[in-house]
Amino acid sequence: MKKIIFVFLFIISCSQIENDSSQLIEEQLSKVIPIELNIDSIKESQLPNFYEVILSDGSFFYVEKGGQYLVLGDIFKIKNEELVNLSREKNYSKAKDMLQKIDEKSLIKFSPKEIKYKVYVFTDVDCGFCRKFHNQISSYLDQGIQVNYLAFPRSGTDSDTYKKMTIAWCSPNRQEVLTGLKKDKDFEQIDCEDNPIKTHFELAKSIDIQGTPTIISQSGFTIPGYIEAKELIEYLK
């Protein structure tokens, strides 16, 4: 009986320590994080004596249990004579979770005859490197890569770029119009009830995408910027 009570008290004590650490960290962070951000979660990390903190904008970092030290950046673990980037794995997980929220019908797809790989590309029709990527779309298809476009007007959802991209995503000929817009062709302005661009924009922001093109593999591996097909395939293998 005494043993059971001791175990019970030990569990309570451990829980109290964990709760105290989380509360202390929250109190410390409330003094330094921007007022517009909230703390979404505080939980133990793989790094001993450090907690992982996730903010409302999707950013994350590690805080020592005493609330005195904050680590912002990549954390590596030495495993089997290799360095494992724990922070990158976390980002992969975030991107992969984001992909699960995408409505497949909202994508503008360019598919090869045989699909070997799939990538999800946040694009902007007025972005120079997005245009360069799309001008070479056949080279990606030749490698068996299906390109799934999502809209990310960098200047925001009240911009002229947003209006242009609305034409493509609301058109019955999405591929043709998207290609035309990236070549500065003019089209009649249209809109539609199921316009997904604002949803795409929020999905991009949820994983802190800043620019275009941003390429994401099915595993969540993210490449911020333009990359040629031969290089991209090496990351996907």
The helices-and-strands tally (H runs, E runs) of the chain is 8, 11
- pLDDT value at residue 17: 38
Query: What pLDDT score does 63 carry?
Result: 86
Domains of the chain: 2-87 (3.10.450.70), 106-236 (3.40.30.10)
Give the per-residue pLDDT at 19.
53
Query: How does pLDDT run across 170-222, given as a tens digit for each residue?
Result: 999 999 999 999 999 999 999 999 999 999 999 999 988 888 999 999 988 88
pLDDT tens digits along 80-95: 766 656 666 666 778 8
What is the three-class DSSP state of 89? helix
> What pLDDT does 158 receive?
95
- pTM here is 0.67
| The two three-digit tokens of residue 138, written as one number | 């056949």
pLDDT of amino acid 61: 81
pLDDT digits (tens, 9 = 90+) for 95-121: 889 999 999 999 999 999 999 999 999
The DSSP string of 134-199 is HHTHHHHHHTTEEEEEEE--TT-TTSHHHHHHHHHHTSSSHHHHHHHHTTT--------TT--HHH
Q: In the predicted model, what is the mean pLDDT of the chain?
A: 85
What is the C-alpha to C-alpha distance for residues 162 and 167, in angstroms, rounded to an integer?
9
In the predicted structure, residue 12 carries a pLDDT above the cut 60: no
Give which of 79, 122, 72, 76 is closest to 99, Cα–Cα. Answer: 122
Which pLDDT value is given to residue 6? Answer: 36
